[in-house]
Amino acid sequence: MSSFLFETFIKEPTTSSFMEMLPLIQPFMLTVENKSLFSTVEMEKKIVLENKVEAVVVVENKVEAIVVENKVEAVVVVENKVESVVVVENKLKPIINTILPKNRNDSLFWCLYILHFGYNDYIQVSRNYGVRSLEVKKQVGDWLTKFPNALKLTNYKVTKASIQEIISECITCQKETSMLSLLAILAHFKMNLFIIDAKERFLLEFIGGCHDGPTYLIQKGGRSNYSIVGDRLTDNDKKYWKEKCLCLHHYEKPLQTISHYKVDDLHSIINKLNIKLEEGKKYKKQDLYLLLWNECLQN
């Protein structure tokens, strides 16, 4: 190897040329100093792997940042040596892509259909949307008839009368899927759901009786058009949306009773939602509560 290097770079080797060559090949020699650098690199690599790297940002062949669990670990590199690692909060928006069902009629149901059966299966439905919709809903209704207590494991209280209402909806043609039927479909599919509004300020959480099941994100747009946002949510994704949005208490009653809140709590929520208050006007607790209630209903 050494003879190859000298033959390549030095035509007539001399003592002086040997001395000139040493600094050039020193970085590649297995010296004590270089060995310590290699072990340091291996140690850093091991730590990064254990922390589950999500993304590595490389600029001009230099590692500029490492994203670990939605936190950016900025790596400062000086002369090929890792000098320091600075951890800074980075609230990454987990949205990757959006799927809007072609059939806008009852888009909420078709979002659930795509999430459970897959988009390719949805494409195969072609023009028989009504027939296929009734088939699936009938399966849900039959399942609920056999296992009426299954909805007790969801995060909403469902009465016996409500269960009969769901079963009736499942065997008849409905223009839109109700929230009650949504809960039954989720329980049957063993999945959970986050629904956010178009402005990404409010969040409704539905647990379909299986806490370990996959959780997906659906966004409600204008005229009750729903679309699938991204892929299966990770724990970090769920944390992100719960911190960003106001988690509504119920799909029919967005807030808990007024006695549950303090005045400071209401002010904090209003500020979080960027709701403008009239300057100079004194708001009582009931005024703030009604203002917030109406804002929730409008979305």
Looking at residue 128, its pLDDT comes to: 85
Residue 140 sits in the same domain as residue 278 = no
Confirm whether 21 is domain-assigned: no
Confirm whether 189 is domain-assigned: yes
Residue 169 sits in the same domain as residue 292 = no
For residues 119-143, average pLDDT: 91
Confirm whether 225 is domain-assigned: yes
Residue 74 sits in the same domain as residue 120 = no
Confirm whether 204 is domain-assigned: yes
Our count of domains for the chain comes to: 3
Calculate Rg over the CA atoms of the chain: 30
Looking at residue 101, its pLDDT comes to: 83
Mean pLDDT of the chain: 79
Residue 108 sits in the same domain as residue 123 = yes
CA angle 217, 221, 226 (to 5 degrees): 50
Looking at residue 174, its pLDDT comes to: 86
CATH number of the domain residue 137 falls in: 3.90.70.80
Which residue among 58, 92, 126 closes a domain?
Answer: 92
Distance CA 253, CA 266 (A): 16
Confirm whether 174 is domain-assigned: yes
Consecutive H or E run containing 151:
none
pLDDT: which is higher, 86 or 41: 86
Residue 137 sits in the same domain as residue 174 = yes
Residue 271 sits in the same domain as residue 228 = no
Distance CA 36, CA 42 (A): 10
Residue 117 sits in the same domain as residue 231 = yes
Looking at residue 127, its pLDDT comes to: 77
Read off the pLDDT band of 112 (50, 70, 90). very high
pLDDT of residue 91 exceeding 70: no
pLDDT of residue 77 exceeding 80: no
Tokens 């959006």 correspond to 98
Residue 268 sits in the same domain as residue 171 = no
**Residue 163 Cα to chain centre, angstroms:** 31
Note down the domain range covering 150: 98-247
CA angle 132, 137, 142 (to 5 degrees): 130
Looking at residue 27, its pLDDT comes to: 64
For residues 199-205, average pLDDT: 96
Which residue among 92, 127, 155 closes a domain?
Answer: 92
Please write the tens of the pLDDT for every residue from 22-76: 666 666 666 666 655 544 433 333 333 334 444 554 444 455 555 554 455 555 5
Distance CA 145, CA 188 (A): 12
Residue 232 sits in the same domain as residue 128 = yes
Which residue among 41, 75, 92 closes a domain?
Answer: 92
Residue 184 sits in the same domain as residue 286 = no
Confirm whether 31 is domain-assigned: no
Helix (H, G, I), strand (E, B) or coil at 227: strand
Looking at residue 73, its pLDDT comes to: 52
Please write the tens of the pLDDT for every residue from 235-281: 999 999 999 999 999 999 999 999 999 999 999 999 999 999 998 89
Looking at residue 102, its pLDDT comes to: 75
For residues 85-103, average pLDDT: 59
Out of 183-187, 276-280, 282-286, pick the least confident. Answer: 276-280
Residue 126 sits in the same domain as residue 198 = yes
Range list of H helices, 65-189: 107-117, 119-125, 129-146, 160-170, 179-189
For residues 198-224, average pLDDT: 91
List CB contacts of 265: < 8 A, sequence separation 6 or more.
Answer: none
Residue 176 sits in the same domain as residue 264 = no
DSSP 223: G
- Whole-model pTM: value is 0.67
List CB contacts of 50: < 8 A, sequence separation 6 or more.
Answer: none
- Residue 149 class from Cβ within 10 Å (0-12 exposed, 13-18 middle, 19+ buried)? exposed
Distance CA 147, CA 208 (A): 14
Q: What is the largest CA-CA distance in the chain?
A: 99
Confirm whether 267 is domain-assigned: yes
Percent of the chain topping pLDDT 70: 67
DSSP 199: T
> How is 14-73 classified by DSSP, letter by letter?
-HHHHHHHHHHHGGGS--HHHHHHHHHHHHHHHHHHHT-EEEEEEETTEEEEEEETTEEE
- Helix and strand numbers, DSSP H then E, in the chain: 11, 10
Confirm whether 24 is domain-assigned: no
